[in-house]
Amino acid sequence: MRLSILIIAFLLVSCADKKTNEIVDAKKPPNIVWLVAEDQSPDWFPMYGDTTISLPNLESLAVDGVKFTNAVAPVPVCAPARSALITGMYPSTLGTHNMRTHAPWRGEGDKPYPNLDIPSYSPVVPEGVKMFTEYLRKKGYYTANGPKEDYNFEKTDAAWNESSRKRHWRNRKEGQPFFTVFNYAVCHESQIWKRGKDSLFVNPKDVPVPPYFPDNDTIRHDLAVNYSNLKRLDDQIGEVIADLKEDGLYENSIIFFYGDHGGPFPRHKRALYDSGVLVPLLIKFPENKNAGSVDDRMISFIDYAPTVLSLAGISPPKVMQGKAQFGEFKSKVKSKYTFHTSDRFDGVYDRLRAVRSKRYKYIKSYDVNLSHALPVAYREQMPMMRELRKMYKEGSLNKQQASWLHKTKPEEELYDLKNDPFELHNLAKLPELKDTLMHFRGVLNKWIIDTHDLGEYAEQQLIDKWRPKGKQPALQHLKIEKTIDGIALFPSRKDATIVWKQPKDSIWNIYDKPLPKDIPFEAKAERIGYTDSEILKYAPE
């Protein structure tokens, strides 16, 4: 009898301890790191089967983490894709679908592209849309980003504790949870020609050449440059991983590694083929949960923001179109499709839409008289692009290689991704796949309506709506009220965010409760697409 009592008592204590530990763990927000490679497809990484070059740091991360095989960008170019990442919304819903709208290096209203009469502007996004890191800061996170702030709209001061090349979690308060973004431009499209004469870490003769490219010295050299840039990327990522391990943070941090869209080459970047939208994605979870496994779920950039919030124990706002894939608020509904858009690239317009399942890809073109190979001046600097133009003009490309460069394109394209991963055989006109074509056509049309796709409107029409009289709308000044609890502040719009700081501070804090009456402060309201309200300056009496 006494033995039974002791056993029961032991079990009760054990259960209580386990429950307590679970509660403590659940209340301890995880540290989260994003490692972002610009302009890269999965094809060139050893984690995805390519043996051309060793990338030891990323390979080690893959051993400790989960590899995703159906991770995609909604737009195959950086600024629109980044707007999806930071908001959990489709760029075509936000109005950030064109590349680019807001040019950070230009003044408000200046023209980013001299040949196009379009100013630098921030679209007025739907009500309630915010940069998701604002919610992390409210929960006490230290949020750091660098160096890219290219979201296709002007960033809000509520988003980051710091945003610079020197960003690091080590700048936070001791014990403070953090979310840190490291963005790597060493593998960007521009590096193909800027590093064209640098040392190569692979022999061009040894690189695989995809069938949609001709096999010659120019093509092989540019491919070898990209592999070499991946080596440089891996070295830089290794420094961050080493810092995490040195600080004793690696084991229990959540680390994302992903590409910001597909590869840097022609028919990759700016294309709705998988070479343009499929990205590498690794996630290392705390204590290396599910290490070394492969996950084929459909996951898009719109899912990253709600997923990070869910992992941090924050319920994602209902306005977000993405799904939380993990964490406390994980969505019970899995995505069957991902959706992709293409509109203006620099000074050239061409609207396309696509829907992708694990098996099929459907692409709709709204102007068949435009080539897939748009004359984007930036891309024309690449030796490979010039070589493709030259060979097409000479007629020396084969049918598959020439297809992308034709002066016209099909209105509809349908590809079997399982049997034709390079998307070389358009099945849209096959009678036996008529039902499949009609199904995907219907799925895409419904999505266009449901998400209020703004691509059907001329950009100038949207600008005139968002910028009455040629200027961004401005938030009115804050209202101030003295209460028992302190100084209360109220914005003119309910979905605006109030930020404040003391006069000598450089970082804006997020206002969430009345401020002390005995401190001086400055405050303002901000909202994506609006000019900030005038700064309110308060001094104690």
Q: Residues 42-101: pLDDT tens digits?
A: 999 999 999 999 999 999 999 999 999 999 999 999 999 999 999 999 999 999 999 999
Give domain 474-538's CATH number out of 3.60.9.10, 1.20.120.350, 2.40.50.100, 2.60.40.10.
2.60.40.10
* pLDDT score of 328 more than 60: yes
Average pLDDT over residues 374-400: 98
* pLDDT score of 17 more than 90: no
Residue 15: active-site member: no
DSSP state of 339: E
Phi and psi angles of residue 448, each rounded to the nearest 5 degrees, phi first: -60, -40
DSSP state of 140: T
Specify the pLDDT at position 108. 67
Specify the pLDDT at position 13. 38
What are the structural domain ranges in the chain?
1-30, 31-338, 341-469, 474-538
Q: Is the peptide bond before 100 cis (omega within 30 degrees of 0)?
A: yes
Query: Hey, what CATH topology would domain 31-338 get?
Result: Alkaline Phosphatase, subunit A (3.40.720)
pLDDT band at 112 (very low <50, low <70, confident <90, very high): confident
Q: Beta strands of 346-494 (E only): which ranges?
A: 348-356, 360-365, 412-416, 479-483, 486-490
Nearest CA-CA partner of 511 in 486, 528, 531, 484: 486
* pLDDT score of 217 more than 80: yes
pLDDT tens by residue, 234-245: 999 999 999 999
Element at 12 (helix H, strand E): helix 2-27
Average pLDDT over residues 205-215: 98
* pLDDT score of 1 more than 50: no
Q: Which of 33, 47, 58, 78 is catalytic?
A: 78
Starting at the edge strand found earlier in the chain, the sheet holding 521-526 runs 509-510, 497-501, 521-526, 536-538
Instruction: Give pTM, 2 decimals.
Output: 0.94
